[in-house]
Amino acid sequence: MIIVGDIGNTETKICIINDRLKKIKKFSLNSKKIDIKKLNYYFKNYDFNKTKKILFCSVVPSTFKSLKKFFLSKTKVKCHELKELNLNSLIKIDVNFKQVGSDRLANAISVSNEKKNFIILDFGTATTFDVMIGKNYKGGIISPGIRLSLNTLSDKATLIPKINLKKMTKIVGQDTISAVRSGFFWGYAGLIDNIINLIKKETGKSFKVILTGGFSKLFKNQIKTKVKQDTDITINGLIKSSNLIK
């Protein structure tokens, strides 16, 4: 068995993988404060003696520390963080390694391919674009996250309530809620298309575009660029990277 996990700023996703690399269990926790009772519940029927590898990508060091302590109490198998591994055989990193989130590296590793180029668009706490040309990670773009921006707007503007983003067919809103929804929905759709086109122009390359994260389903069919949705791209990158653990 292999345990892999993605510790994001908001949510921590953990997945148990069997020896045939099939995902047999997947669950999520609040990254702000890991609930040990919940963690024990999710692992209550799990045999830790069968664990061969544990690998996380993390952008929240304190949360990784808490999970590492939990697994240390259950098994002698070391809990690794992705950036502790020598990733050179999987990916060539052409930017400052220290300043790239390990979740973004996991995404890049998942698609790393000598013959293809990828743009990975991740709708997380931030909306990120990562550029892979062959096996070379070239860097990316970080823009404000949709949920964070929506919440900030309602927190700072007294007359704007909390709003759930939905698909919009019209541009011009008829009230405050529809106006905000239109601004975010069409605004981000335009941002996505524009950034993808600028990446293509700057690099002179063509790309396959992959969407992941919370709002990927909402925008999948609403932008001009042809895209593929893959909500397991980070977990798949971790599974691929687990081969580096001996």
Q: Give the list of residues 6+ apart from residue 148 with CB closer than 8 angstroms, or none.
A: 125, 126
Query: Rounded to an integer, what distance in angstroms lies between the CA atom of residue 177 and that of residue 163?
Result: 7
- Backbone phi, then psi, for 31, in 5-degree steps? -70, -25
- Starting at the edge strand found earlier in the chain, the sheet holding 79-81 runs 23-30, 11-17, 2-7, 53-58, 79-81
Let me know: does 41 contact 231? Beta carbons within 8 Å: no
φ/ψ bin of 20: left (φ > 0), alpha (ψ from -120 to 50), beta (otherwise): alpha
Ordered domains of the chain (ranges, CATH): 2-84 (3.30.420.40), 92-232 (3.30.420.40)
Measured CA angle at 145 (ends 171, 156), to 5 deg: 80
Please give the Cα distance from 244 to 89 (Å, whole number): 9
Is residue 103 among the annotated active site residues? yes
Query: The pTM is what?
Result: 0.88
- Per-residue pLDDT 10s for the chain (246 aa) are 999 999 998 899 999 999 888 888 999 999 988 889 999 999 988 899 999 999 999 999 999 999 999 999 999 999 999 999 999 999 999 999 988 999 999 999 999 988 899 999 999 889 999 999 999 999 999 999 998 888 888 888 877 888 888 888 899 988 889 999 999 999 999 999 999 999 999 999 999 999 998 889 988 888 888 899 999 999 999 999 998 998
Question: Rounded to an integer, what distance in angstroms lies between the CA atom of residue 242 and that of residue 3?
Answer: 9
Catalytic position from the list 6, 19, 103, 155:
103
Which residues does 81 contact at the CB level (< 8 Å), separation at least 6?
55, 56, 57, 58, 64, 102
